[in-house]
Structure 1
Amino acid sequence: MTAEVAAPAGPTGPTAVQRALRTYLDHLAVERGLAPNTLSSYRRDLRRYAAFLAGRGVTDLAGVGESSVSEFLMHLREGDADHPPLSAASAGRAVVAVRGLHRFAVRDGWTEADPAAGVRPPAPAKRLPKALPLADIERILDAAGAPGTVLALRDRALLELLYSSGARISEAVGLDVDDLDLESAAVRLRGKGSKERVVPFGSMAREALSAYLVRARRDLVTAGSGTPAVFLNSRGGRLSRQSAWAVLVRAADRAGATAEVSPHTLRHSFATHLIEGGADVRVVQELLGHASVTTTQVYTLVTVDGLREVYATAHPRALG
C-alpha cells in the first residue's frame, strides 16, 4: 500500500519535501500499520504543512528551522482564506504529525537536526466538569427512593452518599460496613493509589443510610454469603460499579433530567456546589482526594463562568 501525497508538484517534479512526505507516509502505512483513518489525517495535515513551507520558499526539510514549525502552528490556530482556525486538539494532532516527520528525517539521515523537537502541541482547553443545578440533584435523589422497596432504599442511600461526600462511584461500591460511622456522619474512602481519606456527610445522607442499613440491607444480605459490603445487589453480593451507574441513570430518567449523567455527575456537582457556597478550594481538594490542588481548581472556573453570566446581566456597564 502506498500513501501518496497528492500535493501539487513543482515544474520539474515533486520537491524534496513532497518526496520526504511520501516516504514517511509509506513508512506509517507499511511498517507502523496505522489505521486508514489515522493515516488519512496524517496525510491531510502533512500536505498542509508542505504547502505552508512551499509558500515560504522552503522545498527541502534541511531548510526548515524551528521558527517555521512554530509559525505553522500559529497558522493552524489562526486559519486563512482556505482553512478555518483549528481547535487546540486538531492543531495538536497536526503538530504531532510534523514532529513525527522530522524525527523520521533525522533517523534516516535526511537532516542533521530536528527543528520540531522544541515545538509543543497547544494545550487543550480545560473541560469543565458537568455539574447539575441543585434542583435537578434533589429531583434525582427523590426519584431514587420513590418506589419504597428495599432496592429503592439502597438506591437512595447510595446516591445521597455520593452527592453528600463527593465519593467516586468506585469508592462507594468498595465500602464495607466498618467504613461507615453514622454517629459522627463520616466515611472512610479508599481512592486512587489505595490512599484513604475520611470524609463527612450530611444529615440527609445519614438518614438515608440508616434507613437502608436497618430496613433493607439485612434482607439483601441473606440472599448472599455474608459480604461486608455496604451496598448489595439483589443476590446479596457487592454492588458493581456498572450497576451503581445504572442506579443513577434510572433515577435521572424518572426525575425527567434532560442533562446527560455519568458516574462522576454527583461528584462534580458536590464540588461545584461547595465552591459556589464559598468553600476553600484546598478543603474541596481534601474532600475529593485530589493529589494536586490544580486538579481541583477546574471547579473554580465553573464558578467564574457563573459569576460572569450574572455580571453580564446585572452590571449597568457590562455590555458595550
Structure 2
Amino acid sequence: MTGYLDHLAVERGLAANTLSSYRRDLRRYADFLAARGLGQPEKVSEGDVTAFLIQLREGDADHRALGASSAARTVVAVRGFHKFAHREGLTTADPARDVRPPAPPRRLPKALPVADVERILDAAGTPGTPLGLRDRALLELLYGTGARISEAVGLDVDDLDLSSGSVLLRGKGGKERVVPVGSYASEAVAAYQVRARSALAAAGRGTPALFLNARGGRLSRQSAWTVLRNAAERAQVTVEVSPHTLRHSFATHLLDGGADVRVVQELLGHASVTTTQVYTLVTVDKLREVYAATHPRARA
C-alpha cells in the first residue's frame, strides 16, 4: 500500500491532511486483511472487501461503528488502492470494483415557517434609511424568487423588469432563467431603487449592479449573508438561518400551496426534477401531521 500512497502524494499531489486520512483508512484495511490471513492483494476477493465494509458500519472490539459518510470515505480509499494495484499489474483482478460506498443519509432542506420569514423580512435594516431599504429589497427578492445568494448579488439593474413583474437570474453554469417577482418584492425593490440606490451609487464610480454597498460598489455574498443574519437576530428567530434557508422556504411554501414540482424545478433553476423532489419529502411530513390531527380515523 506504500506504493499507492506514494502515487497519491507525488503524481496526484494530494494535500497532507487528505494523505493522512488515506493512510489511516488503509492501515485499518491492512489490519483487517491480516486478521483474515490475507497478506497479498492478489488473494483478496470481493467478499473480503464487502466484509470490511460491513465491519466499518457495525464496528468491532477496537473500532466504533462508522456513519455512512465516514465509511464511504474509507471504501473510496480501498477502491482506489485496488484499482491502482490492478492497473500496475500487481493483481489480475480488481475485487473492489463492484463494492459501492454506502450512500449518506439524505438531508432534508430546512424551511422556516411563513411567520418566521415574515418576521425576518420586517426586521431587515433600519426603516427609511438607504441601507434599510436595500436590505428589505434584498431579502424580499431572495424569498420572493428563490434566487441563490450569488444570483441576487449578481443582478444588474437591467435584469429586473418590474413592469412585467419578472427578473432574469443567472444560475450555475451560466444558465439563465426568468422568474416572476411577487408584489411584495416588487414594491420593496422599487422603493429601494427610487429612494436609496442613487444615494449609495453616489459614493462609488458607477456600476450596473442592483444591490450596492455603502461605498457604491456591488454588494458581496458575505455582506448579503450578514444582512440576513442580522435580520434573523433582530427578529429573534433562534434557528440557524442562511440565504439558502430562504430558497428552501420559497420552494417548500410553494409546494405546500399546491404548486407542481416541475414548476418549482424551473423556478429554482434545477437541471433535474429529482433535485427538487427532496422538498416533497418535507411537505409529505406536513400532510401526515394534518391528516393525523384532523381525520377521525387517523388514530386508534
TM-score band by shorter chain is 0.7 to 0.9
Q: 1:148 aligns with which of 124, 128, 139?
A: 128
Is residue 2:69 matched to residue 1:119? no
Relative to structure 1, the CA distance from residue 89 to residue 205 in structure 2 (aligned partners, 3 Å threshold; closer, same or farther) is same
Find the aligned partners of 1:183 and 1:29 in 2 and give their Cα distance.
58
Relative to structure 1, the CA distance from residue 62 to residue 310 in structure 2 (aligned partners, 3 Å threshold; closer, same or farther) is farther
Find the aligned partners of 2:11 and 2:229 in 1 and give their Cα distance.
45
Structure 2: state its 5+ residue gaps: none
Structure 1: state its 5+ residue gaps: 1-20
Give the aligned partner of residue 214 of structure 1.
194
What is the root-mean-square deviation in Å for CA atoms of aligned residues? 2.6
Greater CA drift, 305-314 or 239-248: 305-314
| Contact 2:121-2:136 within 8 A present in 1 as well | yes
Shift of 1:301: 2.1
Find the aligned partners of 2:91 and 2:38 in 1 and give their Cα distance.
14
Relative to structure 1, the CA distance from residue 293 to residue 54 in structure 2 (aligned partners, 3 Å threshold; closer, same or farther) is same
Relative to structure 1, the CA distance from residue 236 to residue 47 in structure 2 (aligned partners, 3 Å threshold; closer, same or farther) is closer
Map residues 1-320 of structure 1 onto 2, 5 A cutoff: 21=1, 24-25=4-5, 37-307=17-287, 315-317=298-300
TM-score, reference length from structure 2: 0.87
Find the aligned partners of 1:211 and 1:29 in 2 and give their Cα distance.
56
Find the aligned partners of 2:14 and 2:175 in 1 and give their Cα distance.
39
Relative to structure 1, the CA distance from residue 39 to residue 175 in structure 2 (aligned partners, 3 Å threshold; closer, same or farther) is closer
Shift of 1:309: 5.6
* 1:236-277 deviations in Å (ceiling 9; x for gaps): 222222222221122112222222222312111111211222
Counterpart amino acid of 1:177? V
SS at match of 2:250: helix
Shift of 1:286: 0.4
* 1:57-87 deviations in Å (ceiling 9; x for gaps): 4332211112221232233223345433311
SS at match of 2:38: coil
Relative to structure 1, the CA distance from residue 188 to residue 74 in structure 2 (aligned partners, 3 Å threshold; closer, same or farther) is same
Find the aligned partners of 1:30 and 1:188 in 2 and give their Cα distance.
46
Find the aligned partners of 1:221 and 1:87 in 2 and give their Cα distance.
51
Find the aligned partners of 1:194 and 1:36 in 2 and give their Cα distance.
34
Greater CA drift, 161-170 or 37-46: 37-46
Give the aligned partner of residue 15 of structure 1.
none
Structure number, greater radius of gyration:
1
Greater CA drift, 222-231 or 88-97: 222-231
Find the aligned partners of 1:119 and 1:284 in 2 and give their Cα distance.
36
Greater CA drift, 268-277 or 217-226: 217-226
Counterpart amino acid of 1:316? R
SS at match of 1:94: helix
Relative to structure 1, the CA distance from residue 75 to residue 310 in structure 2 (aligned partners, 3 Å threshold; closer, same or farther) is farther
Find the aligned partners of 1:293 and 1:89 in 2 and give their Cα distance.
25
TM-score, reference length from structure 1: 0.82
Greater CA drift, 219-228 or 183-192: 219-228
Give the aligned partner of residue 7 of structure 1.
none
| Contact 2:200-2:216 within 8 A present in 1 as well | yes
* 1:152-197 deviations in Å (ceiling 9; x for gaps): 0111011001100011122112222222222332111121222221
Give the aligned partner of residue 14 of structure 1.
none
* 1:281-303 deviations in Å (ceiling 9; x for gaps): 11100001111111111212222
Find the aligned partners of 2:90 and 2:157 in 1 and give their Cα distance.
65
